[in-house]
Amino acid sequence: MEMQKIYNFSAGPAVLAEDVLKQAAEAAVNYDGHGMSILEMSHRSAPIVDMVTETRQLIRQLLNVPENYKILFLQGGASLQFSMIPMNILKDGETVDYTETGVWSVKAIKEAQRYGNVNVVSSSRESVYNHIQKDFKQSTDQVYLHVTSNNTIYGTQWQKFPEANGFLVGDMSSDIFSRPIDVSQFGVIYAGAQKNMGPAGVTMVIIRDNLIGRSGRDLPAMLDFAIHADKDSMFNTPPVFAIYVVNRTLHWLKALGGVESMHVQNKSKAKFLYDEIERNPLFTSPILVEDRSLMNVPFIFANGGDEPHFLNYCTERGLLTLKGHRSVGGFRASIYNAMPKEGVEALVDAMQNYT
């Protein structure tokens, strides 16, 4: 009997390329012919230092990161960056602007308030974040403007980033490597790996070097960008295995043509699904068309329906984790880079055959 093909639509931790998982499984037993598991190897051994260095180079190459930016591998998730960034950058009493586009941005705002004067310059809270409020005024004395480039829970995405008075800081946890970006617009870009670039346990930070140490605060070593940058992310033991899975994912992505070609595929996958949501009288999208995400696609029953029944029906067809976030209900299909077109086709087929 042929095993049923499974597609994982989880928002995160999320789908990884099958080839990447096979390589990771092999490395867990015998890393690159060294006769040892990668899990047992010193982060200071040459093969691991080389692998981490290469991962940094791949990121620099794939995202066109200018030379005056550092690329760090940290722990604590994107959530720690909500505080680490303002803590390292802001001097007491300085002003920053934040756009409130969902739960993650709210958390970022709350942490920044500990270190500066935070102006929430744009908010779509009153319409349950079903769009991005793009018409807003920035503070004249702003140090930076914070954006969540893709709102994982609500399914909105900045199609074009606003021009900041100071510089942009971007939480790209759920759409990093999904499309080309202009890194030079940003002072800092950060992303937890477990949505679109690898497993949980490592967080990537890309930071312009003249911002490191800007706040002048006396910081705990582990929370100080200067120390991590100085030690090439090896101040303490980094999450080597997670970085390795990122490394393999980036090789996979590069072989497929990099972020430009990923973007073409992501647009085509998302269009296929949004077209079905528009066409199918059973379903509808709660999200304003111009702000719709290519990564997370929420949809609901147009005229009510039995949600658990639809979810079970999907599960029987191997279409897993389609339940919407508890704060919005309905359904959400996360279709990150590693979700093959066939997975989206299988979902659309299920939607067409559902009665």
Ligand X SMILES: *Cc1c(COP(=O)(O)O)cnc(C)c1O
Smallest separation (angstroms) from ligand X to the CB of 250: 18
Of 41 and 96, the one with the shorter C-beta distance to ligand X is: 96
Q: Which is nearer to ligand X, 52 or 176 (CB)?
A: 176
Shortest reach from residue 132's CB to ligand X, in Å: 13
Residues binding ligand X: what is the number (CB under 6 A)? 12
Residue 12 makes contact with ligand X by CB under 6 A: yes
- Kindly tell me which residue out of 45, 75, 79, 117 binds ligand X, with binding defined by CB under 6 A: 79
- Closest distance to ligand X from the beta carbon of 70 (Å): 20
Residues 253 to 292: which contact ligand X by CB under 6 A? Answer: none
| Piece in contact with ligand X (CB under 6 A), picked from 109-117, 170-178, 242-250, 256-264 | 170-178
Residue 310 in contact with ligand X, rule: CB under 6 A: no
Stretch that binds ligand X, among 50-58, 74-82, 204-212, 266-274 (CB under 6 A): 74-82
Q: From the list 56, 70, 146, 195, which residue makes contact with ligand X (rule: CB under 6 A)?
A: 195
Q: Is the separation of the CB atoms in 135 and 181 below 8 Å?
A: no
77 touches ligand X by CB under 6 A:
yes
CA gap 166, 314 in Å, rounded: 47
Q: Does 170 bind ligand X (CB under 6 A)?
A: no
Choice between 204 and 350, CB closer to ligand X: 204
For residue 312, with 0-12 CB atoms within 10 Å meaning exposed, 13-18 middle and 19 or more buried, which class applies? exposed
Residue nearest ligand X, CB atom distance: 77
Q: Which is nearer to ligand X, 51 or 147 (CB)?
A: 147
Which of 70, 97, 158, 195 is catalytic? The answer is 195
Q: Which candidate in 97, 104, 224, 323 is catalytic?
A: 104
Taking contact as CB under 6 A, which single stretch among the options 60-68, 166-174, 282-290, 332-340 is the one that binds ligand X?
A: 166-174
Residue 326 tokens, joined: 């508890």
Calpha distance 92→116 (Å, rounded): 6
Token pair for residue 280? Answer: 């199918």
Q: Is 171 designated active site?
A: yes
Q: Which is nearer to ligand X, 196 or 285 (CB)?
A: 196
Catalytic residue among 70, 97, 158, 171: 171
Residues in region 101-130 near ligand X by CB under 6 A: 104
Among 78, 181, 212, 294, binds ligand X (CB under 6 A): 78
Write out the chain in H/E/C secondary structure: CCCCCCEECCCCCCCCCHHHHHHHHHHHHCCCCCCCCHHHCCCCCHHHHHHHHHHHHHHHHHCCCCCCEEEEEECCHHHHHHHHHHHHHCCCCCEEEEEECCHHHHHHHHHHCCCCEEEEEEECHHHCCCCCCCCCCCCCCEEEEEEECEECCCCEECCCCCCCCCEEEEECCCCCCCCCCCHHHEEEEEEECCCCCCCCCCEEEEEEHHHCCCCCCCCCHHHCHHHHHHCCCCCCCCCHHHHHHHHHHHHHHHHCCHHHHHHHHHHHHHHHHHHHHHHCCCEECCCCHHHECCCEEEEEECCCCCHHHHHHHHHHCCEECCECCCCCCCEEEECCCCCCHHHHHHHHHHHHHCC
Q: Contacting ligand X (CB under 6 A), which of 83, 101, 138, 148?
A: 148
Least CB distance from residue 342 to ligand X, whole Å?
25
Q: Does residue 201 bind ligand X (CB under 6 A)?
A: no
CA 69 – CA 74 distance, rounded (Å): 16
Nearest distance from residue 149's CB to ligand X, in Å? 8
**Residues with catalytic function:** 104, 171, 195
- Residues at the interface with ligand X (CB under 6 A): 12, 77-79, 104, 148, 152, 171, 173-174, 192, 195
